[in-house]
Amino acid sequence: MAQVYKFSEKEIEEIAQARRENKDKRAEARLKALEMRAKGAKGKEIAAATGFHSAYAAQLAAKYKKGGIEAIAGNHYGGNHRNMSVEEEAEILASFRERAEKGELVEISEIKAAYQAAVDHPISDSQIYFVLHRHGWRKVMPRSKHPKKASGEEIAASKKLSPESKN
């Protein structure tokens, strides 16, 4: 049978205080469900009031008892899992930018090798493309000639009138 958690008055007041200070609407819903559970509401009542599944209230109570108020009200989402800061990335790209501004070709494999040496673990090509996009780079490839361009003979044959024949 599932464990039923008992909440003290101090814990109920702590949850109520966290609800008053909270500004995140997702955390608000979790705190409301936890507060209802702490005050003795059943799973179906909590589900009707919050829109959560009835078993989720029991999970929230277990999380609270294990990790405190931060386990419920804290930010559960990470972000910015980059290997280095934007400034550090700019330092690595500086030498490549100089070469690119001189008109030299810069290949992704070279940038990738320098980046991997800096972070000391393997990364994918897509990571390098994200870094380049973040720093305003764009992919420009030289094209020697248009693939459907007509040959010189065809161009000469297609000219119907020369400037001398107009007079």
Instruction: Report the length, in residues, of the chain.
Output: 167
Distance between CA atoms of residues 111 and 93, nearest Å: 7
Distance between CA atoms of residues 63 and 86, nearest Å: 36
Distance between CA atoms of residues 42 and 144, nearest Å: 73
Q: Which one is predicted more confidently, 73 or 115?
A: 115
Distance between CA atoms of residues 89 and 143, nearest Å: 29
Mean pLDDT of the chain: 86
Percentage with pLDDT > 70 across the chain: 89
**pLDDT band with cut points at 50, 70 and 90 for residue 148:** confident
Mean pLDDT value of segment 83-112: 91
Residue 140's CB is within 10 A of a number of other CB atoms, namely: 9
Q: Quick check: 1 pLDDT over 50? A: no
Distance between CA atoms of residues 35 and 52, nearest Å: 14
pLDDT value at position 155? 81
